[in-house]
Structure 1
Amino acid sequence: MLPTFFIAHGAPSLAIEQHAYTEFLRKLAMSIPTPKAIVLFSAHWESSVQKISSAVEPEMIYDFSGFPDELYDINYPAKGDLTLSLHIQQLCQQEGIRCELNDKRGLDHGAWSPLSIMYPDAQIPVVTMSVNPRLTPEEHYRIGAALGPLRDEGVLIIGSGGTVHNLRRLDHNNPVPQLWAVEFDEWLAEQLETWNLDALIRYDERAPHAQEAVPTPEHFVPLLIAFGAGDASRSAKLLHHSFQMGTLSLCCWMFGSLKREKRG
């Protein structure tokens, strides 16, 4: 059984950066068995209905501007996996989760940026999933839990987003993290490590500086989904934590382990 991960994808330029976090991501991929496929929930694919990519050869989406030209030269030619997409659709429908296949969606930078670091040869099939920021935290957790059985099948589930993600509060010239950002992530870590679901589903009311850290929920949603996908084990471990530009949190959480877990 594979664990499930939440991976902060930072800025689009992460794909061409060289620092402790990118080195961590490279080593992380080497520390676990090679997955048969990857299912990735991207903060940059928003939809009112749960979408499941079903493109055989997903195109690249360069959904940003103002970054170095070399980012537009990156190509991550991972294949899709229609059989897996249909399997995901079935798992969602079994739990009463409305979903639709989408054979047009390509790979946005929430997907190809971290994956190009972790699995640069692009040989592992990738199925991307949308997020719906208007759902409740309980509903996000439920979506993740519905896909938990994929872990037994050698499928790696990743939520790609960010915990503290407020572009208006970035301080590009300050390498020191701001106190409010640190305090939010510390609160979050305590709830995840103790699997305090009651607190997490009310993070916007209970967490310090929640409105500053999560001004809009789309980047936080993948964490809740990855968290839900680890429901069988209810174990959480922070593998990396650092900051860029004063407030942009770069963290990686692992839910579950490589051991077989009891369900229900």
Structure 2
Amino acid sequence: MMPAYFISHGAPSLVLDEHEYTTFLKSFADSQPKPKAIALFSAHWESRTQTISQVPDAYETIYDFGGFQDELYQMKYPAHGDKELSDEIGRLFKSHGIDSAVNVERGLDHGAWAILKLMYPDADIPVVSLSVNRYLSNEEQYQIGQALAELREKDIMIVGSGGTVHNLRRVDWRAAQAEPWAVAFDRWLEEKLLAWDTEALFQYRAIAPHAVEAVPTSEHFIPLLLAMGAGDRTRQAKLLHRSYQYGTLSLSCWRFD
């Protein structure tokens, strides 16, 4: 069965960086099963109603950031959509009582294309982009992931793209190592993920150390719960990589088998 993944996308410049995390992502395709298609939840697409992309052709590339290298704004990631998969996702949501809508115009934001360009640079795997809704409970986020779990049996890779520690207000562009509070939060998170302790994870903001600093707003954390929910049947979590950039951004990849 195809694993589900949580993959941090870091700063937009990630796709131009050269460090241990980009090396990991560039080798991802060689070390993990190749999917038939990818269903990807991006922290940078927020909507009150769960929305499913259904582009008729190749995606436009969205540059939803400012002040970075000129080269970034020339990059393209012309992956194609997959209408059949979009329709199937809509049916799965409906069967689980989850309201959804279709968007036929929106391109891929950097939460999607930056990591995909490193992992699958040829853009030869169909992609269905999915929104996140920060106004749902953590349990509801997990249930959305659960609703798509059976796609894994059809070689569909479910990806949540975000960041477990994502505090832009405290970024230090010259930092050589992570802030201690960021590491403490991620270590707590690792313990709960490996134990599949959903009760604690759903309450992370109240009980995890330094949760407010690590997760000042929830949209980047939500994709972790979505990907984890997709792994509910087997409940096996594995940390594939973790490092940090700029002191307050975690670069991690979790696999849910």
Normalising by structure 2, report the TM-score.
0.99
Match for residue 227 of structure 2? 226
Give runs of ≥4 in structure 1 deviating > 4 Å: none
**Partner-residue secondary structure (3-state), 2:60:** coil
Counterpart residue identity of residue 209, structure 2: P
Letter in 1 for 2:208: A
Which structure 2 residues correspond to residues 82-101 of structure 1 after superposition, within 5 A?
A: 82-101=83-102
Report the Cα distance in structure 2 between the residues aligned to 1:254 and 1:189, rounded to whole angstroms: 12
Moved more, 20-29 or 156-165: 20-29
Q: 2: CA distance between counterparts of 1:206 and 1:240?
A: 24
Residues 163 and 221 in structure 2, CA contact (< 8 A), matched pair in contact too: yes
Number of matched residues?
Answer: 256
Q: How does 1:151-166 map to 2 (within 5 A)?
A: 151-166=152-167
Q: Equivalent residue for 2:68?
A: 67
- What CA distance in whole angstroms lies between the structure 2 residues aligned with 1:193 and 1:6? 14
Q: How far apart are the structure 2 equivalents of 1:65 and 1:187?
A: 33
Instruction: For residue 105 of structure 1, report the CA deviation from its aligned partner.
Output: 1.1
1:44 aligns to what SS in structure 2?
A: strand
Q: Look up the SS of the partner of 1:238 in the other structure.
A: strand
Identity across matched positions, percent: 58
Distance (Å, rounded) in 1 between the aligned partners of 2:60 and 2:83: 15
Partner of 1:259: none
SS at match of 1:5: strand
Partners of 2:138 and 2:222 within 8 A in 1: yes
How far has the Cα of 1:32 moved from its partner?
2.0
**Normalised by the size of structure 1, how large is the TM-score?**
0.96
Partner of 1:141: 142
2:59 maps to what in 1?
Answer: 58
Using the alignment, how far apart are the partners of 2:29 and 2:197 within structure 1? Answer: 28
Query: What do residues 55-99 of structure 1 show as CA deviations (whole Å, max 9, x unaligned)?
Result: 022211100000000001111110000110000000000000000
Aligned residue in 1 for 2:30: 30
Pairs within 5 Å for 1:157-176: 157-176=158-177
Mapped to 1, the partners of 2:146 and 2:27 lie a distance apart of: 27
Counterparts of 1:174 and 1:105 in 2: how far apart (Å)? 35
Amino acid corresponding to residue 48 of structure 1 in structure 2:
R
Supply the distance in 2 between the matched residues of 1:157 and 1:30 (Cα, whole angstroms): 18
- The one-letter code sitting in structure 1 at the alignment partner of 2:34 is T
Equivalent position amino acid for 2:163 in 1: G
Q: Which residue of 1 aligns with 2:5?
A: 5
Shift of 1:243: 0.6
Q: For residues 212 and 29 of structure 2, what CA distance do their matches in structure 1 show?
A: 33
Deviation string 1:119-146 (CA, Å, 9 cap, x unpaired) is 0000000000000001000000000000
Tell me, which stretches of 5 or more residues in structure 1 are unaligned? 257-264
3-state DSSP of counterpart to 1:39:
strand
Partner amino acid for 1:255? F
Q: Is the 8 A contact 2:164 2:186 kept in 1?
A: yes
Instruction: Give distance in 1, aligned partners of 2:87 and 2:224.
Output: 24
